[in-house]
Amino acid sequence: MAREKQEQQHVVAMPLLTPGHLNPLMRLCKLLAKQQSDIIITTSDAADASPLAQEHHNPYPAITPTAAAAPHSLVRRIRLPLCGIDLSNGFKLSLLEAYDALVSIAPDLEQLILSLSRHGPRVTCLLSDFNITFPTQDVADKLDIPRIVLYLCCVSRLLFTHYLTLGELYPLKK
């Protein structure tokens, strides 16, 4: 039986930008990239002011390799604007303010996916944190692309199981 050529996956990942949510998603994206999936990690302006900030950012819609990715990696980073959060007060904001700001990202996320699909391989999946369901599910439904929801305890368990099956001890410092 002839094996059909498998379509290359083009995933847009939308993490919640806190270390406990971002780190497992990044590790999962690296595993997907090893399977020749093209991964786009979206971040927001809030990431620039947080401890997650890298030294240099190109403004949206520039695409840059992530700091942890090798130059040849298929994992890239795109920054989307996040409206409605005042970061001058040292991240002291209510949960409602944070969720309202996350909802504001939907139009830019939609335009990003449309642009990526027009100028390269079609986006085949939207991968997002459970905590940002509203903007990401609305965009996925509108563009008719599948969305994978990450419940972080499940992702962490999946990654832990993956590392165990490799037979490697994974140091806590990584």
Predicted confidence (pLDDT) per residue in 9-60, tens digit: 888 888 877 767 777 788 888 887 887 767 777 766 554 444 334 333 333 3
C-alpha atoms less than 13 angstroms from C-alpha of 169 in its C-beta half-sphere: 3
pLDDT at 21: 76
Between CA 43 and CA 13 the distance in angstroms is 9
Between CA 158 and CA 145 the distance in angstroms is 24
Identify the residue whose tokens are 């083009």: 10
Query: Which residues fall within 8 angstroms of residue 48, CB to CB, at 6 or more apart?
Result: 57, 79
What pLDDT band is residue 7 in, cutting at 50, 70 and 90?
A: low
**Mean pLDDT, the chain, integer:** 71
pLDDT at 98: 76
% of the chain at pLDDT higher than 70:
61
Strands 10-14 and 125-129 come out as parallel
Name the residue with higher pLDDT: 40 or 72. Answer: 40
Q: What is the DSSP string of 76-112?
A: EEEEE---S--GGGSS---HHHHHHHHHTTHHHHHHH
Between CA 35 and CA 153 the distance in angstroms is 23
Distance of CA 150 to the CA centre of its chain: 11
| Annotation: CATH topology of 10-165 | Rossmann fold (3.40.50)
pLDDT at 173: 57
